[in-house]
Structure 1
Amino acid sequence: MKKQWQGWGPGEQAEQHYLVQPRSLAGGGDVRHVAAFLHASGWRDKSKSGGPLFMESSDRTIRVAYDPYVLPGGWTIHSRADGPNGEWSAHLGIQTPVEIVAGLTDALTRPREAHAPNVWAPLQQQGWHTRFESGNYVSTSPDGTAWMQYHRGAGGEAMWWTGAKDGQGYGWTANFTPNTPMHLVHAFASELASPDPVMRPRGRVPHSTQIRTWSVSVKPSQLGAWQQARITAARAANWARNSTRAARPRTSARPYTPVGGARTRR
Structure 2
Amino acid sequence: MRQNKQWAGWGATGQQAQQHYLVEPRHLAGGGDLRHVTEYLRASGWKDKSKTGGPLVFHSPDKSVRIGYDPFTQPGGWTISGKKTAHQEAWHATFGRQTPVEIVASLTDALFTTRKAHAPNVWEPLLQQGWETERGQHVTTRSPDGDAFVRFHQSSPGQAHWWAGARNEHGRMWEAMFTPTTPMHLVQAFSAALADPQPVMRPLGRVPSSQRIRTTSVSVLPSQLGAWQQARITAARAAMWARNSVATNRARSSPGAHPYATSDGRRR
For residue 19 of structure 2, the aligned residue among 8, 16, 19 is 16
**What is the identity, as a one-letter code, of the residue corresponding to 2:245?**
S
Aligned to 2:142: 140
**Where do residues 238-257 of structure 1 align in structure 2 (5 Å cutoff)?**
238-248=240-250, 249-252=253-256
For residue 88 of structure 2, the aligned residue among 68, 85, 89 is 85
Output the CA distance in 2 between the equivalents of 1:156 and 1:241: 31
Question: Is 1:178–2:180 an aligned residue pair?
Answer: yes
**What is the identity, as a one-letter code, of the residue corresponding to 1:72?**
P
Deviation track 1:74-120 (CA, whole Å, cap 9, x = no partner) reads 00000110112101100110100000000100001123344431110
Pair 156,179 (structure 1): closer, same or farther in 2 beyond 3 Å: closer
Q: CA deviation at 1:250?
A: 2.1
Task: Judge conservation of contact 2:90–2:181 (CA < 8 Å) in 1.
Answer: yes
Partner SS, residue 221 of structure 1: helix
Percent identity for Structure 1 against Structure 2: 59
Pair 68,252 (structure 1): closer, same or farther in 2 beyond 3 Å: same
Task: Judge conservation of contact 2:158–2:180 (CA < 8 Å) in 1.
Answer: no
CA RMSD of aligned residues (A): 1.9
Partner SS, residue 59 of structure 1: coil
- Rg (Cα) greater in structure: 1
Deviation track 1:207-245 (CA, whole Å, cap 9, x = no partner) reads 011000010000000000001111111111110110111
Task: Judge conservation of contact 1:170–1:208 (CA < 8 Å) in 2.
Answer: no
Output the CA distance in 1 between the equivalents of 2:29 and 2:240: 30
Pair 103,10 (structure 1): closer, same or farther in 2 beyond 3 Å: closer
Deviation track 1:144-177 (CA, whole Å, cap 9, x = no partner) reads 0000000023786110010110122041111000
Output the CA distance in 2 between the equivalents of 1:156 and 1:63: 24
Pair 22,254 (structure 1): closer, same or farther in 2 beyond 3 Å: closer
Pair 12,153 (structure 1): closer, same or farther in 2 beyond 3 Å: same
Output the CA distance in 1 between the equivalents of 2:199 and 2:18: 18
**Where do residues 117-132 of structure 1 align in structure 2 (5 Å cutoff)?**
117-132=120-135
Normalising to structure 1: TM-score of the pair?
0.89
Output the CA distance in 1 between the equivalents of 2:196 and 2:209: 21
Aligned to 2:33: 30
Aligned to 2:212: 210
Partner SS, residue 107 of structure 2: helix
Unpaired runs of at least 5, structure 2: 1-10, 260-265
**What is the identity, as a one-letter code, of the residue corresponding to 1:12?**
Q
Pair 75,60 (structure 1): closer, same or farther in 2 beyond 3 Å: same
Output the CA distance in 2 between the equivalents of 1:113 and 1:48: 37
Task: Judge conservation of contact 1:54–1:64 (CA < 8 Å) in 2.
Answer: yes
Q: CA deviation at 1:253?
A: 7.5
Q: CA deviation at 1:45?
A: 1.1
Pair 156,218 (structure 1): closer, same or farther in 2 beyond 3 Å: same
**Where do residues 150-165 of structure 1 align in structure 2 (5 Å cutoff)?**
150-153=152-155, 157-165=159-167
Unpaired runs of at least 5, structure 1: 1-7, 256-261
Q: Which moved more, 1:243-252 or 1:192-201?
A: 243-252
Output the CA distance in 2 between the equivalents of 1:188 and 1:171: 17
Normalising to structure 2: TM-score of the pair?
0.88
**What is the identity, as a one-letter code, of the residue corresponding to 1:251?**
P
Task: Judge conservation of contact 2:17–2:222 (CA < 8 Å) in 1.
Answer: yes
Q: CA deviation at 1:50?
A: 2.3
Q: Which moved more, 1:153-162 or 1:223-232?
A: 153-162
Aligned to 2:105: 102
Q: CA deviation at 1:42?
A: 1.5
Partner SS, residue 81 of structure 1: coil
- Structure number with greater CO (CA < 8 Å, separation at least 6) is 2
Task: Judge conservation of contact 2:68–2:80 (CA < 8 Å) in 1.
Answer: yes
